[in-house]
Chains A and B, each alone.
Chain A
Amino acid sequence: MKKNNTLLKNIFNVLFPVISALILGGIIIATIGENPFLTYSVMIKKSLFSLDGLLKTLHFAAPLILTGLAIAITFKANIFNMGVEGQAVLGAFFAGVVGFTVKGLPPVLHITLCVLTGIVVGMLFALIPALLKAYFNVNEMVVTLMLNYVVVEIVKFLSQGVFKDPASGYVSTYPIAESAMFKKIFGSNLTVFFFIALIVFGIMYIVFNKSKLGYEVKAIGKNPEFSEATGMNVSKKIIIIMLISGAISGLAGAGFLMSEKYRFTLDFSGSPGLGWDGMLIALLGSHNPVGILVAAVFYAALKTGSDYIGVFTNVPKDIVGVIQGILILLLSVKFFNEQFHLFEKVKLLWKKSSSTDFNK
């Protein structure tokens, strides 16, 4: 019964912010003189209630599942890897470079090579804040954030210079070779990348829930001093956690490039970017793999749907970013807990109303 109650509380803690954020977003839409119901119905219909749209949503969910997992594993250990964005972008960039410089490989080998490049680059880049945090206790949040800006400038420099494709009208690198692309399955938007994301999800599910590492992550998150005192090498564990996070981020970026964009452009990661979306998804999913899967699909649906709202209404698609910001704000508070007794109040109301119904 007690467990049931906490589960219900968790569900309420997620549902309440989602609904409130959608209502607040609706108010903003209404203030610019548009119809919020029409906007939302276009969004949902186009992204979930047509086969084509649903497959597209799942396709967009793939990198989001990965960045969500990448953030969740660090958040769970109470480490704030804000560099997921940078790691994903850098992973994507170098996967792209391998994608167009290496030629004449069979597709399976070429794709593997690109994906591995992305993973390795992501890991290497995560190693810097990891080492600084583990051995010198440097604030990892500021470091990863600053390194994000460094990444932006480096890839900007490289894609305007050495790797610039002169044939394209804007700043971008060469498109990757045919053999490095994830093929669309049966003409739909879905690619093998989605299934790779699902495999990683499966692995991470086991890591989170069944492995020793998953337990240690939780222990570090709860009390690092105690973990250290009981004989855990916390520094080493922090490095491992960051490396896993970097690897998944790099994979997310590489896969997104190879299944969707095919070339690196400056707006590759979009606004607010894959890493920030991942943060929202990790929060929505309460750092729990299954929750993250659901949240990633939900958020991918919002994003996919937002591409259409510009067609049917005058609402700019950036409204999704606004809703995202509000959502993160609201998700930072646990509304239904012992502190506010909101949950008990709602339950009491529910009981009262149902008992009066019964008496009738």
Chain B
Amino acid sequence: MSLLNNILYDMVYHSAPLILAVLGGLFAHKANVLNIGLEGMMLMGAFSSTLFVLITGNLWLGILISVLCTLILGLIFSFFGITMKSNFIITGFGINIFVAALSSFVLKYMAMANINVSSIVNTAGLKINIPIIKDIPILNSLLSGHTAITYLSIILIAVVTVIMYNTKFGVYVRVVGENEEAAKSVGINSAAIKYIAVLIGAALCGLAGANLAVERMALFTNNMTAGRGFIAIAAIYCGQAKPIKSAMYAILFGLAKSLAINLALFAGPVSGLFEIVPYLMIVIVLFAVSAIEKRRTNIRGFKLE
């Protein structure tokens, strides 16, 4: 029973940053901007949140500054990608490599192997226990004892769905993505819409990074996002950029990670190999989704996108 509880708890734990990145990335994806920089933005969130919590000594101020930092990163991406019309993919990779190098540069300069803020942040105290639910078995590990940003991520699934399908902004984003010329002809400022879409993604990735580093572990280590940004891109892709569907894929990947961690305990010597399960699963899920898609649209020739 406790194993099941652990698996469920870890599933939510590992899904939260993914859901945030997926929800953030959705907007850019819908606006036809391929944001490969999600990984770098998440890493920036993780790095700058721990760094500024360490500097300011205040958890929420640190997280706020880190969101501002990722917004700057989002502005850089938008400026290059949208205003200067660069190759999105290469710009995104530039962002990823730049953030990874910058964080390890700063760590080296400060002569630290990692940034540890456990003296400032009490991670156990950040867990919110919900009164009645915490006593119900199974549900308690799913719904109780998580952190504020985790709850926010789940609420945001609904919020993003509403924004995307029931507001003017959501319509604009989708119109710009589907037919930019048409959007321009009816007077929508497509560049501005794209900027906002990327910036929403950046802010949510900043939160995802803060969730990963400060809220959970009070620790930053080099490259700690470990491909989560790309997992998010895969989830968006599999879920056809629909908020609920994509979030479900994010949770599926969270489950894979959780299973890998919890079952590795029983695996003995090969437990190290369980780490590859989530990554392999993404390849398999992508394969399944693409294969079905290909069968459905059975035409000769294909697009390289």
Q: A-side binding surface: helix, strand, loop or mixed?
A: helix
A142 lies within 8 A of B286 (CB) = yes
Residues 254-272 (chain B) with a chain A CB within 8 angstroms = 269-270, 272
Complex CA–CA separation, A139 to B29 (angstroms): 15
Is A349 interfacial (CB 8 A cutoff)? no
Is B300 interfacial (CB 8 A cutoff)? yes
B231: chain A residues at CB < 8 Å are 146
A117 CB to nearest B CB, Å = 22
- Which of the segments A118-126, A154-162, A180-188 contacts the partner chain? A154-162
- Please, which residue of chain B has its CB at the minimum distance from the CB of A238? B304
A224 lies within 8 A of B279 (CB) = no
| Highest count of chain A CB atoms <10 Å: which of B89, B93, B286 | B93
B97 lies within 8 A of A339 (CB) = no
B304 lies within 8 A of A333 (CB) = no
Is A52 interfacial (CB 8 A cutoff)? no
Is B290 interfacial (CB 8 A cutoff)? yes
Is B47 interfacial (CB 8 A cutoff)? no
Complex CA–CA separation, A13 to B53 (angstroms): 40
B101: chain A residues at CB < 8 Å are 271-272, 318, 320-322, 324-325
Complex CA–CA separation, A130 to B109 (angstroms): 41
A224 lies within 8 A of B303 (CB) = yes
A157 lies within 8 A of B234 (CB) = no
B102 lies within 8 A of A325 (CB) = yes
- Please, which residue of chain B has its CB at the minimum distance from the CB of A272? B97
Residues 1-54 (chain A) with a chain B CB within 8 angstroms = 28, 32
A224 lies within 8 A of B97 (CB) = no
B230 lies within 8 A of A325 (CB) = no
A245 CB to nearest B CB, Å = 15
Is A153 interfacial (CB 8 A cutoff)? yes
B300: chain A residues at CB < 8 Å are 228
Residues 73-98 (chain B) with a chain A CB within 8 angstroms = 76, 80, 84-87, 89-91, 93-98
Is A109 interfacial (CB 8 A cutoff)? no
A68 CB to nearest B CB, Å = 14
A329 lies within 8 A of B301 (CB) = no
A215 CB to nearest B CB, Å = 17
B234: chain A residues at CB < 8 Å are 139, 142, 146
A154: chain B residues at CB < 8 Å are 273, 276
A137 lies within 8 A of B276 (CB) = no
B89: chain A residues at CB < 8 Å are 80, 141
Complex CA–CA separation, A12 to B275 (angstroms): 45
A78 lies within 8 A of B276 (CB) = no
Partner of B91, one of A137, A143, A329: A329
Partner of B97, one of A128, A220, A325, A333: A325
Query: Which bucket holds chain A's interface residue count?
Result: 35 or more
Is A206 interfacial (CB 8 A cutoff)? no
B294: chain A residues at CB < 8 Å are 136-137
A328 lies within 8 A of B97 (CB) = yes
Complex CA–CA separation, A229 to B299 (angstroms): 12
Is A112 interfacial (CB 8 A cutoff)? no
B88 CB to nearest A CB, Å = 8
Residues 129-153 (chain A) with a chain B CB within 8 angstroms = 132, 136-139, 141-143, 145-150, 153
Q: B-side binding surface: helix, strand, loop or mixed?
A: helix
- What are the interface flags for B217-240 relative to A under an 8 Å C-beta threshold, 1 for contact and 0 otherwise? 000000000110011011001000
B287: chain A residues at CB < 8 Å are 132, 136, 138
Given A146-B230, A322-B98, A322-B102, decide whether A333 and B80 contact each other with a Cβ distance below 8 A.
yes
| Highest count of chain A CB atoms <10 Å: which of B76, B234, B237, B293 | B234
Complex CA–CA separation, A243 to B290 (angstroms): 22
B3: chain A residues at CB < 8 Å are none
Partner of A339, one of B85, B93, B233, B273: B85
- Please, which residue of chain B has its CB at the minimum distance from the CB of A325? B98
Partner of B279, one of A149, A234, A319: A149
B293: chain A residues at CB < 8 Å are 137
Complex CA–CA separation, A321 to B99 (angstroms): 9
A93: chain B residues at CB < 8 Å are none
Is B114 interfacial (CB 8 A cutoff)? no
A18 CB to nearest B CB, Å = 14
Complex CA–CA separation, A147 to B280 (angstroms): 7
- Please, which residue of chain B has its CB at the minimum distance from the CB of A337? B85
Complex CA–CA separation, A317 to B104 (angstroms): 10
B283: chain A residues at CB < 8 Å are 128, 132, 138, 143, 146-147
B236 CB to nearest A CB, Å = 10
- Please, which residue of chain A has its CB at the minimum distance from the CB of B77? A329
B1: chain A residues at CB < 8 Å are none
A78 lies within 8 A of B97 (CB) = no
- What are the interface flags for A295-320 relative to B under an 8 Å C-beta threshold, 1 for contact and 0 otherwise? 00000000000000000001011111
B301 lies within 8 A of A229 (CB) = yes
Is A344 interfacial (CB 8 A cutoff)? no
Complex CA–CA separation, A203 to B283 (angstroms): 33
A224: chain B residues at CB < 8 Å are 301-304
B86 lies within 8 A of A332 (CB) = yes
Q: List 29 A-B contacts (CB under 8 A).
A: A78-B304, A132-B287, A138-B283, A138-B286, A138-B287, A139-B234, A141-B89, A145-B230, A149-B276, A149-B279, A160-B272, A224-B302, A228-B301, A271-B101, A276-B97, A318-B101, A318-B105, A319-B105, A320-B101, A321-B100, A322-B101, A324-B97, A324-B98, A325-B94, A325-B98, A325-B100, A328-B90, A332-B94, A333-B85
8 shortest interchain CB distances as A-B pairs: A325-B98, A321-B101, A329-B94, A316-B108, A328-B94, A332-B90, A332-B86, A318-B105
Interface contacts beyond A147-B283, A332-B86: sample of 16 additional A-B pairs, CB < 8 Å, sorted by A: A78-B304, A137-B303, A138-B286, A139-B286, A141-B36, A141-B89, A145-B230, A146-B280, A272-B97, A279-B93, A318-B108, A321-B104, A329-B76, A329-B80, A329-B94, A330-B94
